[in-house]
A = this chain, B = another copy of it.
């Protein structure tokens, strides 16, 4: 985290756990489902000891059955419960897409509004753990392509908590992509119940020379880069997109109108990743007229995530990549 204060700090994982704890204490209908979220505490320790407080009936270890598990969560959500379903790794959600996309996302519409499906799903995503191609993907663009779903990507502990609590209050299915590498990152997290609005981006740093729109872990890399750029006289505005469906058009466009330059940074494969939508959204808006330079995207390489740690780093954007892109973009501006 970039804002060090003497306020209470929690890790991103702790913040998520606290949100679940608050929700479960308040509302009997909230249950947790997932693989090894009970005594094991979750593959990334996110559920931790919640089973001790709420018991096996509310912190349910599922069999290794992602499709069925997701579907049970959907059915439970239609009939009175508020399940939070954890995919152990977001990669395994490829097994559950049927229930997510054909059922959770569409049931309300197909049924003419007769029911809502208030299910929350959590997807630990991203690379950086040396777990190779089948355990490191960032597939949030898939669900962000699907009407009926809401999709968020918290970048800070405070938002991880606030967005999860907002998701639980939302009557519709909310998909939460959490970055595994952020789980241990600390930051200030307010006590008690609060929500971070779904659908609102956050301006993390104001600047006038160029706009960096980033998601998840890239928000922190962008902020790092912005500090360095500042020393070079380049004043970057950094926006944490936070919600990728529905996207916060207004915040992004306002920034681009101000700076005239845009770079989008995201870890997912570049082609058809979230930055493609940010770019296209700007390019078709009135903000187009304010653009002084091409819209740059920094996304993951067109490549599965490799195992070797140096290769693994090479396939996702790093701070030097952002610096280079920003410097090129700023040329002629300052």
Contact = CB atoms under 8 A, between A and B. Distances in A.
A250 to B, nearest CB: 16
A133 interface: yes
Nearest to A132: B110
Interface in A288-327: 288-289, 291, 293-297, 301-304, 306
A116 B286 CA distance: 46
A294 B142 CA distance: 26
A105 B304 contact: yes
Given A277-B271, A279-B279, A294-B284, A304 B97 contact: no
Q: How many copies does the complex hold?
A: 2
A94 B97 contact: yes
A315 to B, nearest CB: 10
Nearest to A109: B304
A195 to B, nearest CB: 23
A141 B280 contact: no
B276 A146 contact: no
A253 B233 CA distance: 34
Assign chain A's interface to a size class.
35 or more
A273 interface: yes
Contacts of A142: 142, 145
A144 interface: yes
Given A132-B110, A145-B141, A294 B304 contact: no
Contact of A245 (B95, B271, B275, B288): B271
Given A102-B91, A102-B134, A274 B277 contact: no
Contacts of A288: 291, 293-295
B295 A284 contact: yes
Given A279-B280, A294-B285, A133 B106 contact: yes
B95 A110 contact: no
Given A98-B95, A105-B304, A276-B280, A146 B269 contact: yes
A303 B142 CA distance: 15
A97 B143 CA distance: 13
A148 interface: yes
A283 interface: yes
A91 to B, nearest CB: 6
A247 to B, nearest CB: 7
Given A110-B134, A276-B277, 7 more contacts: A92-B98, A109-B303, A141-B141, A147-B302, A279-B279, A279-B283, A280-B280
Interface of A: 67, 91-92, 94-95, 97-98, 100-102, 105-106, 109-110, 132-134, 137, 139, 141-142, 144-148, 245-247, 268-269, 271-277, 279-280, 282-286, 288-289, 291, 293-297, 301-304, 306
5 contacts: A67-B67, A94-B97, A95-B98, A106-B134, A279-B279
6 closest Cβ contacts across the A-B interface?
A: A279-B280, A288-B294, A145-B272, A94-B97, A276-B280, A94-B98
